[in-house]
Amino acid sequence: MKRKLLVAGNWKMHGSLKFVDGMMQELNDMLPAQRNYDVAVFPVYIHLHQVINNKPAQVLCGAQNLSEHDDGAVTGEVSAAMLSDLGCDMVLVGHSERRVMNNESNAEVAKKFAQALKYGIQPILCVGESSVERQSNQTFDVVWAQIKAVIDEVGVEKLGQGVIAYEPVWAIGTGETATAEQAQEVHQFIRSQLALNDDTIARRIRILYGGSCKGSNAHELFSMPDVDGGLIGGAALTAQDFMAICQQADILSQGV
């Protein structure tokens, strides 16, 4: 039995007040109110309020990061309590761009995951290998170490309250998508490893694919038995491209 698909748009450091206005208008016009799949968008912090106030009902809104600290002298950071106060539903943790550019370690990402749950925000844990790691057959080890760090921090039951996004780094923003079989292989690996810890959580947790996903490949990717939707970067920046992916989720969710 497939889980409910989730199409999540990561806007990264793109947009403006005008962009958000336009996107909200278009999503309100284009997204069907009745859906059997979930949709979420992830703007930069300073656009969260505007999205939350103008998004279509039932579209979820999330932040792209959060602090591992509750509050205090942490200049420039945003806490889980602040995100929760605004009405954020979700938050990305461990996006590969942050792991690389901000040197976020597995342990730090795990703390952020815990912090999100503590304040009732659903974390999406991003995991994935670099091209060098794939070429040297380390994909499974790298991905499992990223997930294991979260299990060590919060336990497998709490991991199950989040979502996992498998995003091979070599496929992010490169136009080079993992084949549906490559994605399925890693998703299946993750689920089988989780099953060794807790079979129910392994079957229940949503695992998204991310990396140059677009309208033309979403159907094939989301059809895979262990792929439960996508985390979308570039193709989430125009309503038309994002809707093309949502339409594939819609087709696959008919009758579910």
What is the x/- site pattern for ligand PEP, positions 41-80, by CB under 6 A?
----------------------------------------
Report the site for ligand PEP in 128-167 (rule: CB under 6 A). Answer: 167
Residue choice 172, 183, 202, 221 for contact with ligand PEP (CB under 6 A)? 172
Measured from the CB of residue 173, what is the shortest distance to ligand PEP in angstroms?
Answer: 4
Q: What is the total residue count of the chain?
A: 256
Is 77 among the residues known to form the active site? Answer: no
CB of 210 to ligand PEP, least distance (A): 3
Min. distance of Cβ 176 from ligand PEP in angstroms?
A: 9
Q: Which residues pair with 211 in a beta bridge?
A: none
Q: Tell me how far, at minimum, the Cβ of 81 lies from ligand PEP, in Å.
A: 25
Q: How far apart are CA 208 and CA 42, in angstroms?
A: 15
Q: Coil, strand or helix: which one is 77?
A: coil
Residue 134 dihedral angles phi and psi, to the nearest 5°: -65, -45
> Binder to ligand PEP among 156, 234, 242, 243 (CB under 6 A)?
234
**233 is an interface residue for ligand PEP by CB under 6 A:** yes
Among 32, 87, 120, 173, binds ligand PEP (CB under 6 A): 173
Among residues 5, 6, 9, 10, which is the contact residue for ligand PEP, using CB under 6 A? Answer: 10
Does position 210 bind ligand PEP by CB under 6 A? yes
Cβ atoms of 93 and 123 closer than 8 Å: yes
Q: Which residues contact 40 (CB under 8 A, 6 or more apart)?
A: 6, 7, 8, 9, 59, 60, 61, 62, 89, 90
Least Cα distance to 130 among 102, 87, 99, 84 occurs for: 99
Burial 117-134 (b: 16+ CB within 10 A, else e): bebebbbbbbbbbbeebb
Answer positive or negative: Cα dihedral of 150, 125, 161, 253.
Answer: negative
Total residues at interface with ligand PEP (CB under 6 A): 13
Q: Is residue 231 involved in binding ligand PEP (CB under 6 A)? A: yes
* Residue number closest to ligand PEP, CB atom: 233
State the residues that interact with ligand PEP by CB under 6 A. Answer: 10, 167, 172-173, 210-213, 231-235
Q: Annotated catalytic sites, by residue?
A: 95, 167
